[in-house]
Structure 1
């Protein structure tokens, strides 16, 4: 790890506009600093600026950027009104990490692509213009949707996938004032600049995430991974499905482990609305989701895996047996 200076912010104004690298839980940043993937000259500790509360926001909730994952998942209002979020958080990391990781930091975490963390490999995310050794390399954990010729890395988190399905909004403070960005638009696809993970501009700080009023419907988070705990998703599905008179009245879906960002395709939900559940309908939704999906050899299996996982989740959410056939 390279040397750095350390400072502590006393309030939000110290962080806004700062050129230092902000740190709260540090569960991702410190790992990257040890590998010298990240080499900030100054760290600014923001743990004492507030932003660590969950509060009522209209008919919904505001989750402060410094609320830990553990506290968020355990909050009774989250467990009762937004169980999808609680389940997604508990599916990620370990209890020790959830005790330190924060809402804002979780949203800003970087990919776990092995080529990104290996300084001997070419990586356009770490060093723009150098190339991407993942393409043609070991691709088991890499993207099948939204990738580019410059990067096939995936966003690793679970929490943001649930927030995308819940239609959360990221509140951001910056030198030019406050702005709100839907979680579905917060993360970027790699395109020609994989080095930018999200839409945060220089000097901006996430202050909170807001959730709309709890809605009707069954909430499910299913994460498929190589082992039962402490593993990133091969694929994950966050779903909110409401049934009225035997037909699907609400279908909000988001997907993890398959793209550079939590993946949300509104057409997939729209094709389900007003329809009676059936294997044929769920196959159609999965085919629509995966239209244009591309494997890279080692991750080709993710395409049928996501197809089956979506079908199984929709079957369960609509009251059927948790068995789905291609």
Structure 2
């Protein structure tokens, strides 16, 4: 066979580290996942977003082999979820840690590192997770934010190819959150894939390359950050104006209007007509600023669309 006729192999960057395909999971009468499918690739952060009960935690539990799917396919590093060979190549930070409170932080780190074939050095773990001064402390004596930093260190200490982070920065102050973000970016730059769930939409905007939005156990959006934002055409208009925001809120194309001191903020389907009317009705208007709607607006609009579709189906 000539070199020209050899089949081309997929690039490692395009082969999913983990994937769900058509996964369904029900708990008695509650359908937690209803045909969910998405994948995580090397060197990217995939943020899975959704309200409480949308299916985020169940999706992670299926990928980790903590619960079995009723239907569909789940795969981690080419292996069934929960396979020991896969576990040695992943790191996990869940909301519920179950860590012994009497254990010293240093003992926890040494024990967890021993599970992996090529763990990071203790010094690297301490530096990356911000554990200076905590190694001789008992886990149960730490603050909530300090415990989250320990959990993060345990998740990354094995040099994982795939990292599951479930609400990782809950309880952290701003400095600790920024430090964790910097470490996550460093890991991703080195080829690690990250599945991130978060209630902080600014965190998803800061870190994620791709976004999956779940609503009532279904995927309502899956794409690059800009693609998900583009699903809505809303614009956010801010200005200094004395106009009555209650009246502005009734204008055609205006979804919401609010006031913060002398400044008003308008969320509109399109900016041109609304801005034209603002200027016409308030000649003293100043400091006009128009921006594309953010991820929070896109998220709300996507889940609102699901509510509308559900209402039509029930009618």
TM-score normalised by length of structure 2: 0.24
Q: Whose strand fraction is larger, Structure 1's or Structure 2's?
A: 2
Larger radius of gyration: 2
Quick one: higher RCO (CA 8 Å, sep 6+), 1 or 2? 2
Task: From the two aligned structures, give the one with the greater helix fraction.
Answer: 2
